[in-house]
Amino acid sequence: MELKRLNKAIAETGYCSRRAADRLIEEGIVKINGKVAELGTKVSEQDVISVNDEVITKEVRNIYLAFNKPMGIECTTDESIPKNIVSYINYPERIYPIGRLDKPSEGLIFMTNDGDIVNKILRSRNNHEKEYVVVVDKVITDDFLNGMRNGVPILEQITKKCKVTKVDPRCFNIVLTQGLNRQIRRMTEHFGFEVRKLRRIRIMNVELGNLQKGEYRDLTKTEFEELNNLIGESSKTVD
């Protein structure tokens, strides 16, 4: 009989991510077969898992959405916060965002009910590409482009080298493999520029395309298969 860690079993139901599951276990509200569970416990398919005395099972299909987040929408699952992403989408099943996109920013973000894939994509060591189009308040110079490409001192570290291409006098394209807090805004501010508009147009192999603001779509079978290949080797987690 195959055993797996409790946090992974919870994540695979779509209830939450592994990290969130660990917090629930620490709070003492997770039970296995009616008994309070402990961190690191392993379970089989025959075990009954409950959170707050409510049995959790994988009752719905795994959902993987590409969503074009408008400016002003906050990437949080806290539905008490105005303009939170979960309430805005109002999807019929429980879903949550993979990663974040700043409230003033717009563009592509993934939404899912698969807690396991969240961890795989978010692991920083995977170096997954994310592409943005950015409009700034001043005319872009060669010094600015070269500085952005070669690493910028923010948050007590130097950002990784990245691809930066000028689109027009005040607009550039940037491809990052990091996800530091407000990274692009902090990088541009270092050179005396201010971001006026920031839009994410690609995450790994999935492009925003012509998806309209506020709309979402299912990832295609081809997109999902390629996504799995990209996160496969670098994101394997320990059972």
Give the residue numbers annotated as catalytic, written as ranges. 102
Q: Which residues contact 96 (CB under 8 A, 6 or more apart)?
A: 16, 77, 86, 111, 112, 113, 118
**Residue 185 is encoded by which pair of tokens?**
């805004």
The span from the CA of 173 to the CA of 184, in Å, is 11
User: Residues with Cβ < 8 Å from 224, sequence gap 6 or more?
Assistant: 64
